[in-house]
A = this chain, B = another copy of it.
Amino acid sequence: MANLLILGAGVMGSAMTVPAADNGHRVTLVGTHLDEEIIKALKVDSAAHPKLKAPLPAQITAIGIEELDPEALRAAEVVLLGVSSPGVGWAIETLRKRMLEPRPIALLTKGLQPWDGGLRSFAAEIAAALAGQGLSERMVAGIGGPCIAKELADRQPTAVVYAGADPALLETLKGLLQTPYYRVSLSDDLEGVEVCAALKNLLAIAVSAMWTRHPEHNPQPHKPRALNPASAAFSQAVREMAGLTGWFGGRPETAYGLAGLGDLHVTAGGGRNSRLGFLLGEGMALDAALTGPLSGETLEGADTALALAGPLENAFAAGRLAPGDYPMTRALIAAIRDGRPLALDFESIAFV
């Protein structure tokens, strides 16, 4: 039995309490300042998470960030970081103040951060930002693969990837968290897993858009759907993901596994990014989607597009990447950054 601390009580951080508690660990779920209502509800009834719609184990301890004792952080075998991607800066500041000794950090949060004229993953960002606290990149693990939070909390089977530079840490994490329904495989391609996890949110938008765009003049919005266009788009999405993963210094093969195509598959099957894709596929512009049906939603795929746009254009200009290899990524950026209709014409794509 170990002490596990989960920072961020959103759906993913909260769902991770289920395999953790099933393995008999002492689990402390720490809400951010945005999670006050969640923590309040969980303190009354651990089964009453207002966003997750699945019961959490009775034995977990839910606290607000103001209740987090640095000694409790020191006693944690591992810190799971489950804030949303815009919350990473806040998480870094929190750990800087309260982490008395460096603790291994496993990242549920996904995204890309501007860095040195380019981008880096949150794993690299966090390791660099907490170097003063003694944290090294070897103490950071990324988590990828298909894992809808509610399904994990419902103990539906899935398989994920833990990635990092320290095999011993990965084995420890796997030993702590793997259950019969939550299967953990290991990878040394931390950057690849992190980049795939961010890119899949973006590319899933295009795959989902192909479901609603075709047949054209669809009399019933969202159905009936043609399947060929989305499957061809799925194949192209995986190809672009592999190329971009290599550009980031990850291994292209990672895009062909659980963290790449596996997570893309589940992400294009539902969720917020997928809903944005449905709307863009029907010809809605981004602004109309964000002020209308998706008002107030966090769209991590859109954030990824904005972060990616400049560095990608630089890579094209410098000849490090060929624009013709990334028609889907470019169409998504044009739709999301520039507010143009999503132009994903199959005639413009050199499929392989």
Contact = CB atoms under 8 A, between A and B. Distances in A.
A228 B146 contact: yes
B235 A257 contact: yes
A145 B228 CA distance: 9
Interface stretch (A70-78, A79-87, A258-266, A313-321): A258-266
B349 A231 contact: no
B265 A234 contact: yes
A270 interface: yes
Interface string A226-264: 111111101110110010000000000000111001110
Copies in the complex: 2
A347 interface: yes
A152 interface: yes
Contact of A351 (B147, B185, B351): B185
Given A261-B235, A346-B180, A228 B351 contact: no
A181 interface: yes
Contact of A180 (B180, B229, B347): B347
Contacts of A227: 146, 148, 151, 266, 269-270
Interface stretch (A6-14, A59-67, A116-124, A155-163): A155-163
10 contacts: A146-B228, A146-B232, A147-B228, A148-B228, A151-B226, A151-B227, A154-B226, A158-B228, A258-B351, A265-B265
Given A180-B346, A227-B269, A232-B258, 18 more contacts: A145-B235, A147-B228, A148-B228, A158-B228, A158-B346, A159-B349, A181-B346, A183-B351, A227-B270, A231-B266, A232-B262, A234-B261, A235-B258, A235-B265, A239-B257, A258-B351, A258-B352, A265-B265
